[in-house]
Amino acid sequence: MSQWSPKKGRVIFHVDMNSFYASVETAYNPELKGRPVAIAGNPEERKGIVVTSSYEARAKGVKTTMPLGQAKKLCPELIVLRPNFDRYRTASKEIFQMLAEITPYIQPVSIDEGYMDITGTEQHGSPVEVAQNLQQRIHDELDLPCSIGIAPNKFLAKMASDMQKPMGITILRKRDLHEKLWPLPIEEMHGVGSKTADKLRSIDIATIGDLAASDSYQLKQIFGINGERLQNKANGADMSPVDPEAVHEFKSIGSSQTLAEDTTDEAAIRNLMHELAENVERRMKRKQAVGKSVQITIRYHDRQTITRSQKLPQFIEHKEDILHVVNELFRKHWNLEPIRLLGITVQDVDEKQNIGKQLDLFTYEQEAENETLYEAIDYLSQKYGKNPFIQMASERKDEPRTSFQKDFLDDYKH
């Protein structure tokens, strides 16, 4: 590998953990090393979906989002584990703390990947030496593998990190595009989903190179401004900065969960609503945020999914207020068919410090009264471990989720 060290321009890393959930479980339990492992949500309760799998399982054809039954047919010896998100969060925090020792310019984008701008950190060595030392340290101290892409911008770094897995380090410079990037199928381009790929193929754009050389006017006609952005990236142009504050740019905070079984049992549904609202409230408190719109997501037994939302005259943050709106939306829009999944999201979210709220006398008195009640509930919840006014059908606090909120991604700073 060449010791690329540009004299001008940026040096960007994309650090991507390999098979992260499965790798964390293997590090926690070394007896799993070398064996096919899959992480699946609630595998004991319903036909689960593979969230991620080890490379040994992938070699047998096991893929993410594959039904667990199909995965076991392909790999009868598959070891299936429930997700342990607290364990994954802890590992993620330690990884990002290692990155932050090299540069303050860190942008986490998910629990297992993030960007680093190491421009001007020559004291740590050449970019390749920094990548090698970081990769080795993560492996030695946490027993976790990662791949690192090195490039002059975020897009090329992201593409580079995907080129060698596991434990790869790849440099992707603009002069390498014709050899390393342009021959790739258009579906492999970061930012191109299946629907966009289908549209691109319909106009004879089958590779990233085809996109780079395509007619700009035609792209704008079909895709608007996004067509221009995609073509610029295909040509290696991406000016977006590595932004440590990007993790705070959230417009919604939500929580969703698949039920143990498809149900029309209103008691079970209401209990889950309470839990989801508590999750949302907790995350909003953590961010010191409030929101002005509430959305409910209902996925039925046949996978049909609807979302309905309501804008509010004032900002809210407490679970009681969230539930009031959710109950109204649910009453209006549930068609009485069995429900598979429920989700609650507070939208139009902003941090309290950004909001200068004007209260009239009536609103102030009403909120002051509520605040006393909220403080009492919070006190009792802390004392007894849960809201004593809500009787749960079962304790679900530690049940795994198959999706991940991003509101913890700045934990490494604390």
**Is residue 3 a part of any domain in this protein?**
no
Q: Are residues 103 and 207 in the same domain?
A: no
Q: What's the confidence (pLDDT) of residue 394? A: 36
**Residue 122 among the catalytic residues:** no
Distance of alpha carbon 108 from alpha carbon 145, whole angstroms: 17
- The sign of the CA dihedral 114, 150, 193, 248 is positive
Strand order in the sheet with 146-151: 106-110, 113-117, 12-17, 146-151, 169-171
Q: Are residues 120 and 79 in the same domain?
A: no
Q: What's the confidence (pLDDT) of residue 260? A: 80
| Secondary-structure percent of the chain, ordered helix, strand, coil, rounded to 5 | 45, 20, 35
Cβ distance 173 to 160 under 8 Å? no
Q: What's the confidence (pLDDT) of residue 370? A: 52
* Active-site residue, from 25, 113, 278, 281: 113
Q: What is the CATH number of the domain that holds 134?
A: 3.30.70.270
Q: Are residues 251 and 365 in the same domain?
A: yes
> In the numeric block, which tokens belong to residue 217?
């006017």
Would the annotation count 16 as a binding residue? yes
Q: What's the confidence (pLDDT) of residue 318? A: 92
Q: What is the CATH number of the domain that holds 397?
A: 3.30.1490.100
Amino acid at 346: V
Q: What's the confidence (pLDDT) of residue 250? A: 65
Q: What's the confidence (pLDDT) of residue 345? A: 94
Helices (H) and strands (E) in the chain, counts: 13, 13
Q: What's the confidence (pLDDT) of residue 68? A: 87
Q: Are residues 45 and 131 in the same domain?
A: no
> In the numeric block, which tokens belong to residue 7?
């004299």
Q: What is the CATH number of the domain that holds 219?
A: 1.10.150.20
Residues in the chain: 414
**Is residue 282 a part of any domain in this protein?**
yes
- Give the number of domains in the chain: 4
Q: Are residues 38 and 77 in the same domain?
A: yes
Rounded to the nearest angstrom, the gap between the alpha carbon of residue 246 and the centroid of all alpha carbons in its chain is 14
**Is residue 144 a part of any domain in this protein?**
yes
Q: Are residues 150 and 164 in the same domain?
A: yes
Q: What is the CATH number of the domain that holds 62?
A: 3.40.1170.60
Q: Are residues 188 and 115 in the same domain?
A: no
Torsion angle of C-alpha atoms 353, 356, 361, 362, degrees rounded to 10: -70
**Is residue 241 a part of any domain in this protein?**
no
Distance of alpha carbon 13 from alpha carbon 63, whole angstroms: 27
Instruction: Using the 3D structure, point to which of 83, 104, 131 is the last residue of a domain.
Output: 83
Q: What's the confidence (pLDDT) of residue 21? A: 95
Instruction: Using the 3D structure, point to which of 144, 175, 206 is the last residue of a domain.
Output: 175
Instruction: Using the 3D structure, point to which of 186, 209, 234 is the last residue of a domain.
Output: 234
Burial zone of 217 (CB within 10 Å; 0-12 exposed, 13-18 middle, 19+ buried): exposed
Phi-psi region of 204 (alpha: psi -120 to 50; beta: other; left: phi over 0): left
Cβ distance 118 to 103 under 8 Å? yes
Cβ distance 62 to 53 under 8 Å? yes
Q: Are residues 252 and 396 in the same domain?
A: yes
Q: Are residues 325 and 262 in the same domain?
A: yes
Q: What does each C-alpha distance from 320 to 101, 269, 274, 280 come to in angstroms?
A: 42, 16, 9, 11
Q: Which domain holds residue 205?
A: 178-234
Torsion angle of C-alpha atoms 127, 131, 134, 140, degrees rounded to 10: -140
Q: What's the confidence (pLDDT) of residue 414? A: 67
Q: Are residues 398 and 300 in the same domain?
A: yes
**Is residue 43 a part of any domain in this protein?**
yes
Per-residue pLDDT in tens (0 to 9) along the chain, 414 residues: 556 666 678 999 999 999 999 999 999 999 999 999 999 876 554 457 888 999 999 999 999 888 888 999 999 999 999 889 889 999 999 999 999 999 999 999 989 999 999 999 988 899 999 999 999 999 999 999 999 999 999 999 999 999 999 999 999 999 999 999 999 999 999 999 888 999 999 999 999 999 999 999 999 999 999 999 999 999 999 999 999 887 766 678 899 988 888 999 999 999 999 999 999 999 888 888 899 999 999 999 888 899 999 999 889 999 999 999 999 999 999 999 999 999 999 998 887 776 654 334 344 444 444 555 555 555 555 545 444 443 333 333 433 344 445 556 667 776
Q: What's the confidence (pLDDT) of residue 380? A: 55
Confirm whether pTM is higher than 0.75.
no
Q: H-helix or E-strand containing 282?
A: helix 266-287
What are φ and ψ of residue 380, in 5° steps? -70, -35
Q: What's the confidence (pLDDT) of residue 20? A: 95
Would the annotation count 350 as a binding residue? no
Q: Are residues 197 and 312 in the same domain?
A: no
Q: Are residues 321 and 373 in the same domain?
A: yes
Percent with pLDDT over 70 in the chain: 82
**Is residue 79 a part of any domain in this protein?**
yes
**Is residue 2 a part of any domain in this protein?**
no
**Is residue 396 a part of any domain in this protein?**
yes
